[in-house]
Amino acid sequence: MLTFNRICWLDLETTGTDPQKHDITQIAMLFEVNGKLRGKHCWTCRPHEGREIEESALLVQGRTREAVMSAPHPTAVHRDIIEQIDAYRVQYEKGCRFHIAGFNVGFDQRFLMEWFAQERRGDLREFWFRFWPHTIDVKQTAVEAGIANRLPPVENLKLTTLTRALGIEHGNAHDALSDIEATYALYQRLRG
């Protein structure tokens, strides 16, 4: 089994499903360094100017348009996120980047990349300086566990279904921090 020295467990809540026209409203990160959780952080932010907000996305999150729009500006949140990431990195050490991990993590990675690009006028060097391109997808880990008969029969591969089937506390589904804590616990259980 591969091991990774630095993992950024990531979950986002967004205003829709298309990173080209929608945006992030909540970002949760757990920082794992050398196999130990070293910190957890959660931010809310309003969408960048001109980004669409789907009512169905707000309904899933249980948030109002007014609450989303009254959140901090993404530039302020971006600065804080960079500071937090760098606090868990050794500055300028070769290869000192995080692998992003999460549930169906490609979705979150694409949104975070686009969000960084919005903040840096399309320049993704800041993103790639901090993150490896390879991710750890816990949904894929669940598929592999199911194939190996290490997972009880489930009707679907949704995070809430899997955590319920394995008796893992999930708290408030579609809250980024609750989701990533449940994802981390699920991964630990599946790796067993």
Residue 63 lies in a domain: yes
Q: What percent of the chain has pLDDT over 90?
A: 85
Query: What's the domain range around 27?
Result: 6-136
Residue 127 lies in a domain: yes
The pLDDT assigned to 90 comes to 72
The pLDDT assigned to 42 comes to 98
Residues 175 and 127: their CA atoms lie apart, in Å, by 24
Contacts 24+ apart (CB under 8 A), 116-124: 116/78, 118/23, 118/48, 118/74, 119/74, 119/75, 119/78
Q: Give me the number of domains the chain comprises.
A: 1
pLDDT at 92 over 60: no
pLDDT band at 184 (very low <50, low <70, confident <90, very high): very high
pLDDT at 48 over 90: yes
The pLDDT assigned to 2 comes to 58
Tokens representing 176?
């980024």
Residue 55 lies in a domain: yes
DSSP state of 34: T
pLDDT at 61 over 60: yes
- Listed residue (29, 36, 34, 33) closest to 10, CA to CA: 29
Q: Name the strand (E) or helix (H) holding 47.
A: none
Tokens representing 79?
């600065």
pLDDT tens-place string over residues 137-183: 999 999 999 988 989 999 999 999 999 999 999 999 999 999 999 99
The pLDDT assigned to 94 comes to 63
Residue 116 lies in a domain: yes
Residue 179 lies in a domain: no
CATH number at residue 59: 3.30.420.10
Instruction: Indicate the pTM of the whole model.
Output: 0.94
Residue 163 lies in a domain: no
- Amino acid letter, 54: E
142 with 186: CB under 8 angstroms?
yes
Q: For the residues 105-132, what does the mean pLDDT come to? A: 95
pLDDT at 127 over 90: yes
Q: For the residues 86-104, what does the mean pLDDT come to? A: 83
Residue 169 lies in a domain: no
- Listed residue (173, 169, 167, 135) closest to 154, CA to CA: 167
Residue 84 lies in a domain: yes
